[in-house]
Structure 1
Amino acid sequence: MENVELQKLVEDISSENFGKPFRHSAFFNKRLRTTGGRYMLRSHNIEINIKYLEEHGMEELIGIIKHELCHYHLHIEGKGYKHRDKDFRELMTQVGAPRHCNPIQSSMKKKHKTLLYRCTGCSLIYRRRRRINTDRYVCGKCRGKLKLEKTSSE
């Protein structure tokens, strides 16, 4: 789907579900990471994360567009457009817009590797994400030498 098709889709959803025209721009923004879409207060444009269309399909994309159009129309009318406002919550239930979108699997945080160091003196285990210079650092309990046990994923 291209930006032109997205613009047409947003205009159609706006007129069908809200009964009002969408007079600004809607486009895909590949740099969005943690959100499905974003309504810009100053320019009144809507940015959509294209990864949601690729991973979750058209139904999820339409839900995101409805959510952002709720922000758009309420802001234009001078009503409460923020998530906590009553006007926003009521309009979302009227049009069937989701409060949150499903998480993207490709951008989920990868599990960090864990390094296990064991003291040769008292057998105390240290869990670290970063490597330790074992020639320089010693056990904090007994001043024994540290030895790398194993590397594992959490």
Structure 2
Amino acid sequence: MNETDLQALVEQISSDFFAKPFCHQARFNPRLRTTGGRYLLKSHDIEINPKYLEARGEDYLVGIIKHELCHYHLHLEKKGYQHRDQDFRRLMKKVGAPRFCQPLDTAVKVQVYQCTSCQTEIIRRRRFQESRYKCGRCGGKIRYLGPRTQTVDS
């Protein structure tokens, strides 16, 4: 799916579910990390995270678009468009939009250490100088094994 397909999909969802036109720009923003999409208050544009399309599919993307269109239409009508507002919650329930996005699995680089005595594996996000520390379990020396990528649900 490219930007023109996304624009057409957003316009179609807006007319089908909200019976109102979407007159602004919809685009993919690959820099979004923790959210499925966002509505920009000043420009009235909608940005969508392309990683959700790859990971969850087009049906999930439709839910994200519905959520952002709830923000869009309520803001233009000068009604409560924030998550805590009753107007927003009623409209989301009416169109079947999800309230939150499920987080994507992300890979994190971690540093792996091991105790030379009891072989306990110690995992840290940041590297440290092993000569200044000892094992918390047995008091043995710690040696650095190297970096590893680990999948974490965020």
What TM-score bracket applies, with the shorter chain setting the length? 0.7 to 0.9
Task: Tell me which amino acid in the other structure corresponds to 1:92.
Answer: M
In the other structure, the counterpart of 2:18 is 18
Summarize the alignment of residues 67-146 of structure 1 with structure 2, pairs less than 5 Å apart. Answer: 67-105=67-105, 108-110=106-108, 112-117=110-115, 127=122, 129=124, 130-134=127-131, 137=132, 146=141
Q: Which stretch shifts more, 64-73 or 26-35?
A: 26-35
In the other structure, the counterpart of 1:148 is 143
Residues 22-48 of structure 1: CA deviation (Å, up to 9, x unaligned): 010001111111111010000000000
**1:133/1:84 Cα in 2 relative to 1: closer, same or farther (>3 Å)?**
same
CA distance in 2, matches of 1:109, 1:99: 25
Larger CA Rg, structure 1 vs 2: 1
Instruction: Point out where structure 1 has 5 or more consecutive residues left out of the alignment.
Output: none
**Count, aligned residues:** 144
Summarize the alignment of residues 46-85 of structure 1 with structure 2, pairs less than 5 Å apart. Answer: 46-85=46-85
State, as a whole percentage, how many aligned pairs show the same letter.
53
Q: TM-score, normalised by structure 2?
A: 0.79
**1:117/1:15 Cα in 2 relative to 1: closer, same or farther (>3 Å)?**
same
More strand by share: 2
Q: Is the 8 A contact 1:13 1:66 kept in 2?
A: yes
Task: Tell me which amino acid in the other structure corresponds to 1:15.
Answer: S
**1:149/1:44 Cα in 2 relative to 1: closer, same or farther (>3 Å)?**
closer
In the other structure, the counterpart of 1:39 is 39
CA distance in 1, matches of 2:79, 2:21: 17
**1:87/1:146 Cα in 2 relative to 1: closer, same or farther (>3 Å)?**
same
CA RMSD of aligned residues (A): 3.0
Q: TM-score, normalised by structure 1?
A: 0.79
